[in-house]
Amino acid sequence: MKILQAIEADFEESISGSSDETREIRMDNFNEFKKLGIPTSKQEFWKFTNPSKIKNSEFTLGLSKDYDDKKYDIILVNGKLTKKNDDIKINNIHESLAEKKISNEIFGITNNPFINLNNAFSTEGCVLSFKENVEKEISVLNVIDNTISKQITHPRIIINVGKNSNISILEKIRFLGNKENLVNSVTNFSLDEGSKVEHILIDDYSENTYQISNVLVKQKRDSNFSSYNYSNGKMLARKDFIIELKERGAHCDLRGVYLADQKNHIDHHTIIEHEDEHCTSNELYKGILSGKSTAVFNGRIHVHEAAQKTDAIQSNQNLLLSDDAIIHTKPELEIYADDVKCTHGATIGRLDEKGIFYLRARGIKREEAQKMMMRAYIGEVLSGMKNSEAKESLLEKIIENIPEGE
């Protein structure tokens, strides 16, 4: 596979300065990536998304550069930490592994080749640690320099939140060019007892981007994780969320909006593991598709035998603005406990013409009437967001980027 041939030399060069322990972790992950290879659409987990173009491209490792934006507390450029706020405890991953400040388990081998590849390359990412009883809002900017074609970057952020802390994180992606590139990112969250995290992820990718994203969350007793995820699909985007509700009373709220037009392709896979009793989850994803675009939503709720009194809700709703747009939606329940309340559902439809007619009868132009209805449609997804400034700006951004219908 061409991608392997292209990055193997980069890997050998990048590993030369690693400590013995870090080198072993990275080598194990790279060897597992080579063993598994790039997935194909013959695999169930990739049935509707074919990453063969990634497999057959010669991507080389993107290099870091200086970049600053005073609005952000933390900046990573091509996956390397380049700016940090001194008020926040931040280490790079290489230092944290060498000093055993993070568990090697985070970099354990998985059955996901892209996570293994990120594990092998992401030592320049960052580790954010928040002590107990901290309340803070932070902003993170991931800068991708794609002024050079055929570059691959591996952004990695690890976030550890102490007991009873309340953290809001706004994470944005910014591109410096429009050349073909691959972004392979991983974000880890670890929530201690009673902690709360609001993660606002805004992915507004350049039109020549392949995106592979994995968000991995582990929650302890009575913790609360809320995710608000905006994706403006480009060539190919695949985003996986895996949430582990490991102890009693943990709650997660996953909310997402995705837009796609032309021939763009965007795929969301979510897995929520209910591992203990009295855990709850609420999941709402909405899409707007136009042109010849394709979207995929596959959401699985897995209720373990010990997870009695589980309460889980999942909903996927889609608006198709053209006859050629395609949505593959597959909500799943896998339940091994008998005292649970779980619901799931999916809808596919078009804008309500009666509603548009009602607004036009009151002197509102059709285009404006459509925007008003879409604002209400999208607004439900963002309704629980605590960061009011981010909420309003994100809603406006989504409305501006809604694709035109036929």
Structural tokens at position 349: 């439809």
> Are residues 120 and 11 in contact, defined by beta-carbon separation less than 8 angstroms?
yes
Within-domain flag for 269: yes
Is the residue at 316 inside a domain?
Answer: yes
Q: Is 295 left (phi over 0), alpha (psi -120 to 50) or beta?
A: beta
Tell me, yes or no, if the pTM score tops 0.85.
Answer: yes
pLDDT exceeds cutoff 80 at 18 = no
Model confidence at 343: pLDDT above 70? yes
Does 164 have pLDDT greater than 70?
yes
Q: How far is CA 42 from the centre of its chain?
A: 24
Strands (E) in 275-397, as ranges, are 280-289, 294-303, 310-320, 326-335, 340-349
Question: With bands split at pLDDT 50, 70 and 90, how would you rate the model's confidence at 96?
Answer: confident
Domain residue limits at 63: 2-355
Top-ranked range on mean pLDDT: pick from 52-56, 206-210, 290-294, 368-372: 290-294
Whether 235 is in a domain gets the answer: yes
Q: What pLDDT, on a 0 to 100 scale, did the predictor assign at position 218? A: 98
Binning pLDDT at 50, 70 and 90, where does residue 1 land? low
- Number of neighbours of residue 35 by Cβ within 10 angstroms: 10
pLDDT value, residue 64 = 78
Whether 118 shows a pLDDT value over 90: the answer reads yes
* Helices within 112-186 (DSSP H only): 113-121
Mean pLDDT score, 93-99: 77
pLDDT, residue 406, reads 65
**Number of domains composing the chain:** 1
Q: Is residue 372 part of a domain?
A: no
Asked if residue 326 belongs to a domain, the reply is: yes
Residue 6 lies in a domain: yes
At 120-159, the pLDDT tens digits run 998 888 999 999 999 999 999 999 988 888 899 999 999 9
Does residue 291 register a pLDDT over 80? yes
Mean local confidence (pLDDT), 162-188:
93
Mark 89-101 as b/e (b = at least 16 C-beta within 10 Å): ebbbbbebbbeee
Residue 397 lies in a domain: no
Q: Is residue 386 part of a domain?
A: no
Is residue 385 within 8 A of residue 228, CB to CB? The reply is yes
Higher pLDDT, 311 or 43: 311
Q: What is the rounded average pLDDT for all residues in the chain?
A: 90
Residue 225's DSSP bridge partners are: 197, 252
